[in-house]
Amino acid sequence: MSTLNLEIFHERAAAAEQEIAFLKKEIELLRQSITSNNSKIHSVPKDEYSKLEQENIKLKHRVAILKRTIEAERGKTQSGMKTTETCNATSIYDTLFDLFEKAISAVYPNISNPPVIITSSNNPKFGDYQCNSAMPLTKQLSSIGIKTSPRDVANNIMSKVEESALISKLEVAAAGFINIYLKQEFAQTILSNLVKTGKMFPPYTKKQKVIVDFSSPNIAKEMHVGHLRSTIIGDSIARLLEFLGHNVLRINHVGDWGTQFGMLIAHLQDRFPNYLTVSPPINDLQSFYKESKERFDGDEEFKQRAYNCVVKLQAFDPDMIKAWQLICDVSRKEFEKVYARLDINLKERGESFYQKHMEALVKELESRGLLEEDEGRKVMWGKRDSNQIPLTVVKSDGGFTYDTSDLAALKQRIEEEKADWVIYVTDAGQSMHFQVLKSCAECAAILKSCHRMDHVGFGVVLGQDKKKFKTRSGDTVKLNDLLDEGLRRAFDKLKEKERDKVLTEEELKMAQESIAYGCIKYADLSHNRNHEYVFSFDKMLEDKGNTAVYLLYALTRIRSIARAANISQEKLQEIAQNTPISLEHEKEWKLAKVLIKFPDVLNKIVKDLYLHQLCEYCYEISCAFTEFYDSCYCVEKNELGEIVNINMGRMLLTEAAAIIMETCFSILGLKPVARM
C-alpha cells in the first residue's frame, strides 16, 4: 500500500473520529437531560410524571441510536484499517475505553455517566492494562438500592466486553479488578506496518488552527537564559502539534513598542544624525541600549525628547518609523542567530502589529460598556471573585498596556487568524495575568466555548547555588554564551571518549552540535515544567540515565545494528512484507508493548502539555531495548567476527524502535547523528 493511500485513509479515519467525538458529546447532553428528568420525577404532579417518563424513554432511545451510529463509524474505520493494513496509529487507551464503556452501559443502562477507569499495569502478572470501574460502580449501584459486590460487577462487565483484535484475554482479580492482556498479533500488525511504511503515523485527532506564542524577547536587548525555557518548550509543543497534523502558527510576540523606543530613537538621532540616508553601524545594541537608558534616567531634556519621539512613533511618523525599523532589524539579526543554532522557526509579530487593533478594541469595549473608570485608568473586569483583578486597558495618561495588547492580540488571533486554540508559553509568574485575560476575553465574547486557551507556565532556571542562574559577576547569562559553552563542553566530552580519533572532522562537528544543543533542550524538557531546575552541564552531559547524551547514543547504537549487518532501511521495508516481527521472547514482547504506547503518550501530552512525559517515554524505550538486546541476539557472529546468522524478526523490531525514537526526538527538537 502506497504512502499516499495510507495518508488518504488516515484523513478519512480522522474524519470518522471527529464524527464519533461529536456523537459522544450529543450522548453526554442527552444523559444530562435524563438525569435532570429523573431528579424532577419525584417532585412533580402525576400528569407531568408520565410526560417526563415518556421523554426519558425517547431520550434513551436516541442514546441507543447514537451508540449504534458510533459503532458503525468505528466499523468503517476498522474495516479501512484491515483494507489498508495500517494500525500503527491506534490508541490502546481509547480502544479499551470504548470497549468497556459499551460493556458497562449494556450491563447497567440505568447508571448515568458510569465510571470507565482504564490504567496500564506495571506488573505483567496483573495483565497489560486494567479496568478498575467495578468499585465505584458498586457504590453507585448501592446509592440506588442495588446491593452487589465489586467482583460480581466486574464479572458482569467482563461478560459483555466484545471480542476485539486488541485483547487476548480478560480475568477478574482480587476485589473486582479486570486484568486485560493484549494480543501479540495486534502489536505485530502495528509494528510491521510501521517498518513497511518507514514512518510513524500520528494518532487520529481533530485538525485545528493552533497559535503557539513563545520565546518573545525584547527588541534592543540580548536573548538571555530567561528566554531559554519559553523558546525550547514552545518549539517542542509546536513540533508535537505539527506532527499531529494541526495547522500551527508559531508566533514570536516580541517587545518592539513603547517608551523605550522613544529613548532609543532619540539616542540614535544624536549619535547618527544622518541615519535616514546612511545605515548606522550599531554593532553592540546592548551597549547602545545601556547608553540611552543612562541618558533617559539622568537627563530631563533627553527624557522629554524621548517621550516626544514615542508620541510621533505611535502616530506613525515616517522618520520615527525608519529609526524604529533600523533598531528592530539589528536586534532581529541577533535573535535569528540563536534560533538558527537551536533549529527553531518563528513568525515575528510584535506589539507594534497590534497598535491599530488596540485602538479599535478600546472603542469597542467602551461602546459595549465593558470598561470602568478607576482613578483615571480604564479597567475591565472578568469574573468578579475574591482572587480576580481587572485588566488595565487604558492608563491614566491615555497610553496602552501589556493587558491591552494581549487582549487585542487574542481577539485578532481568533477573529482574523481563525484560531481554534491559543497557547501562551511564559514563566509561571504570569499565570494570574493569563487567568484574567481569559476571563475578560470570555466576558467580551472574544473567547467562546468552541475555543481553547492554555497558559503553559514554567519555573525559573537555577544555578548550582540554587539561586536564579547568573554569571559570576551577577549578570544575566546570555543565551549565545550559554550555547558556546555547551559546544565547548560537548567537544571536551567527545575528546575524553576519544571519539575525535574515529570520527571524521565533519562527523565530529555534527556530534558536537547534536550533543551540545540536544543536552540543553533535553535537560529543560525532561523536567516537569512547573518546577525550577538546576542548570548543570556536568549532569546534562552524563552518558548514563535519562539524559540526551545517553538517548542519542542509544539511538545511534540501535541504528548501527542493521548497518553492521549490511541491511539498509529500504531492505528492512521489503523484508517486513513477508516476515513477522519476533515477539516470542518475554523481552521482545516487553519492548513491543512499550513501543505501541506511543499514540497514548502523545494524546496525554496534548491534554496537559507536559513534555517531560515524552522524555520519560524515550528513556523507557531505551531501557526496554537494552533488556531486549542483552537477552536476544539480532546478529550472530563466529569467532572470526563473521556473520553466521541474522534474526530478521528481531531486526524488524529493532527498526520499529528506531523509527519511534526518531519521531520522539523530532518532536523534542533533538538531532540524532549516524555516528557518535
Q: What is the pLDDT of residues 526-548, one digit of tens each?
A: 999 999 989 999 999 998 999 99
Best CA proximity match to 148, nearest among 117, 184, 188, 107: 107
Residue 52 pLDDT more than 70? no
196, 407 in Cβ contact below 8 A?
Answer: no
Q: Does pLDDT of 83 surpass 50?
A: no
Q: What Cα–Cα distance (Å) separates residue 514 from each residue in 142, 346, 483, 548, 625?
A: 59, 21, 12, 9, 22
The four Cα atoms 184, 655, 194, 250 give a dihedral, to 10 degrees, of 130
- Considering all CA atoms of the chain, what is the largest pairwise distance in Å, rounded to the nearest integer? 94
pLDDT in tens, 492-512: 999 999 999 999 999 999 999
Mean pLDDT lowest for which of 55-64, 271-280, 366-375? Answer: 55-64
Quick one: cell of 232? 525550547
What average pLDDT does the structure give for the chain? Answer: 88
Q: 40-49, 66-75, 393-402, 471-480: which has the highest mean pLDDT? A: 393-402
Over the stretch 660-673, which tens digit does the pLDDT of each residue have? 999 999 999 999 99
What does the DSSP 8-state code read for residue 116?
A: -
98-102, 326-330, 363-367, 602-606: least confidently modelled range: 326-330
pLDDT band at 42 (very low <50, low <70, confident <90, very high): low
Residue 507's CB: how many other CB atoms inside 10 A?
A: 16
Q: Are strands 377-380 and 347-348 parallel, antiparallel or unpaired?
A: unpaired
* C-alpha pair distances (Å), 125 with each of 121, 140, 151, 613, 624: 9, 29, 18, 25, 18
pLDDT value, residue 84 = 38
Q: Residue 46: what are its φ and ψ, rounded to 5°?
A: -60, -35
* pLDDT at residue 642, as a whole number: 85
Task: Tell me the angle at which helices 648-668 and 228-243 cross, rounded to the nearest 10 degrees.
Answer: 130
Query: Are 425 and 219 within 8 A, CB to CB?
Result: no
Of residues 628, 599, 624, the one with CA closest to residue 614: 599
Residue indicated by cell numbers 506613525: 316
Higher-pLDDT residue of 7, 168: 168
- Measured CA angle at 660 (ends 659, 666), to 5 deg: 90
Cβ(635)–Cβ(646) under 8 Å? Answer: yes
Residues listed for the chain: 676
Instruction: Please tell me what DSSP assigns to residue 26.
Output: H
How many Å apart are CA 177 and CA 199, to the nearest integer?
Answer: 37
Q: 435-438 — which CB contacts under 8 Å span 24+ positions? A: 436/382, 436/388, 436/389, 436/390, 436/391, 436/403, 437/391, 437/403, 437/406, 437/407, 437/410, 438/382
pLDDT for 199 equals 87
Which has more confidence, 633 or 69? 633
Phi and psi at residue 635, in whole multiples of 5°? Answer: -125, 125
Angle of helix 300-314 relative to helix 318-341, nearest 10 degrees?
90
386 within 8 A of 417, measured Cβ to Cβ: no
- Find, among 356, 365, 353, 351, the residue nearest to 440 by Cα: 365
Cβ of 72: how many Cβ atoms within 10 Å? 13
The answer to whether 88 and 193 are in contact (CB under 8 A) is: yes
Question: Percentage of the chain with pLDDT > 90?
Answer: 70
Q: What DSSP character marks residue 304?
A: H
Centroid of chain to Cα 454: 11
Closest CA to 86 of 6, 18, 167: 6
Q: Residue 413: its pLDDT value, please?
A: 98
Q: Using only the alpha carbons of the chain, give its radius of gyration.
A: 30
Tens digit of each residue's pLDDT (9 = 90 or more) over 214-260: 999 999 888 988 899 999 999 999 999 999 999 999 999 999 988 88
Question: Helices marked H in 276-427 — which ranges?
Answer: 285-298, 300-314, 318-341, 355-367, 402-415
Geometric angle at alpha carbon 418, from 417 and 422, rounded to 5°: 85
- Asked whether the predicted pLDDT for residue 373 surpasses 50, the reply is yes
Per-residue cell: 311: 508620541
Q: What is the dihedral of CA 196, 202, 204, 208, to 10 degrees?
A: -140
Angle between helices 586-595 and 184-197 (to 10 degrees): 60
In the numeric block, which cell numbers belong to residue 183? Answer: 494480543
Q: Is the pTM of this model over 0.95?
A: no
Specify the higher pLDDT residue, 312 or 80: 312
What's the pLDDT at 9? 52
> What does the pLDDT read at residue 213?
98
- Which letter does DSSP use for residue 104 in this model? H
Per-residue model confidence (pLDDT) at position 79: 46
